[in-house]
Amino acid sequence: MSPFSSNVREVTEQTKKDDEEQFEKLVAPQAAPRKYDVVYRNLVTFGYGHLTALYGIYLACTVATWSTLIFHFTIFVIASIGVTAGAHRLWTHRAYKAKMPLQILLMVMNTFAFQNTVIDWVRDHRMHHRYSDTDADPHNATRGFFYSHIGWLLVRKHAEVKRRGKTVDMSDIYANPVLRFQRKYAIPFIGSVCFLLPTIIPMYFFGETLATAWHLAVLRYVTNLHTTFLVNSAAHLWGNKPYDINIKPVQNLAVSFVAFGEGFHNYHHVFPWDYKTAELGNNALNLTTYFIDFFAWLGWAYDLKMASDDMIRSRSMRTGDGSNAWGF
Ligand code: ST9
Ligand code: ZN
Ligand code: ZN
């Protein structure tokens, strides 16, 4: 455990609610034949985004200044942690608690990532855990890499997502004033934070042209999207299963590296309420944990939940594939 981890609480037994969710997972159909209802507007916007990002790579390698590149790398890190520490570990899984200043900071950091509003993100992600890799999971990985990576955002959701989604408890999220603010002012706020500022700042401070500034801003955004998407695709397909061999999510170190610690995904699906999302939380592949530990040290994060060693060991012995925490 890190010296910064004050206020850590070891969880020693699954709640009754988890058991009920486990049961429901079994009854949603896994990948029943379906007809895809393509959303052409999304096909056009994602197509434009990717072409813009490709040209952004060319500009990054030829004309962009180092200041602009460092600036965008910094935003990439900020946005990533806004997703991992904010939307994911804090708001979806309630793996720790955060005081108001940290919640506001995380909401702004998350806004740089523009992955819908946090409210919508949490609703989809709670469905993903409750009905993992069934038709009620928005990005059901039994439908393959492309569907779970990005395809699910190009078609209407499966009826099972909408039907079973009505029962998912979102009361904590709907009551959260910070998240309500983000949703209420979504268009001007997300537009300004995610696109406008990252375009204007390199123009005024680093002397970039509008074309270079815009293409690099979109490149940074698209890169953030793909590192997140890899958790839904690669970390459900390629890797080991030290904790539960019966589920699709795996340990994938490459994904952990690009997604700030979110690739230890076999562990995460077994212990979703663990704030580290991994057995070995403090390491170079899990920078999000250092971020949360730092704020725990400051007193802004508290009640960090963590699975006990005994609990992890007995679960590994019961259902794991015999590989270790790193997935070897
Ligand atoms: C983007 C994607 O933002 C975000 C990706 C998140 C990925 C999560 C990854 C998790 C990884 C975990 C670890 C973290 C790792 C982080 C690493 C970081 C380095 N429950 O959605 P609609 C109902 S892309 C309950 O329109 P359609 C509900 O009644 C970027 N109910 O469905 C809803 O109405 P309302 C920008 C649900 O029409 C109604 O259905 N974003 C649920 O089938 C309609 O919902 C975009 O481009 C649910 N889960 O359309 C937007 N879902 O909302 C992309 C739906 O009023 N999305 N209902 O209550 C869309 O355009 C559409 O959602 C669609 C489906 C076309 C995909
Ligand atoms: Zn998953
Ligand atoms: Zn999760």
Q: What is the ipTM of this complex?
A: 0.97
State how far the Cα of 4 lies from the Cα of 252, in Å rounded to an integer.
26
Note the pLDDT of residue 306: 96
Ligand 3: centre distance to CA 265 (Å): 8
Cβ of 39 below 6 Å from ligand 1: yes
Note the pLDDT of residue 1: 43
224-241: per-residue pLDDT in tens?
A: 999 999 999 999 999 999
Q: Is 186 in contact with 26 (CB distance < 8 Å)?
A: no
Angle of helix 40-62 relative to helix 210-232, nearest 10 degrees, comes to: 120
Q: Return the best residue to mutate from 84, 124, 131 for the ligand 1 pocket (most ligand atoms within 8 A of CB).
A: 124
Ligand 1: centre distance to CA 124 (Å): 6
Residue nearest to atom 15 of ligand 1 (CA): 228
Cβ of 194 below 6 Å from ligand 1: no
Note the pLDDT of residue 4: 40
Grouping H, G, I as helix, E, B as strand and the rest as coil, residue 325 is coil
Q: Is 193 in contact with 112 (CB distance < 8 Å)?
A: yes
Neighbours of 323 (CB within 10 A): 18
State how far the Cα of 221 lies from the Cα of 235, in Å rounded to an integer.
21
State how far the Cα of 325 lies from the Cα of 85, in Å rounded to an integer.
21
Residue nearest to atom 44 of ligand 1 (CA): 162
Note the pLDDT of residue 33: 79
Ligand nearest to the CA of 237: 2
Note the pLDDT of residue 282: 86
Cβ of 231 below 6 Å from ligand 1: yes
Ligand nearest to the CA of 255: 1
Q: Is 212 in contact with 202 (CB distance < 8 Å)?
A: yes
Name the residues around ion ligand 2, CB cutoff 5 A.
249
Q: Which two three-digit tokens encode residue 15? A: 């709640």
Note the pLDDT of residue 17: 54
The strand pairing partners of 108, in sequence order, are none
Grouping H, G, I as helix, E, B as strand and the rest as coil, residue 306 is strand
Ligand 1: centre distance to CA 148 (Å): 12
Q: Return the best residue to mutate from 162, 166, 174, 190 for the ligand 1 pocket (most ligand atoms within 8 A of CB).
A: 162
Q: Is 125 in contact with 88 (CB distance < 8 Å)?
A: yes
Cβ of 183 below 6 Å from ligand 1: no
Ligand 2: centre distance to CA 324 (Å): 19
Residues 6+ away with beta carbon under 8 Å from 150: 46, 229
Cβ of 43 below 6 Å from ligand 1: no
Cβ of 134 below 6 Å from ligand 1: no
Cβ of 195 below 6 Å from ligand 1: no
Q: What are the residue ranges in the chain where pLDDT is below 70? A: 1-29
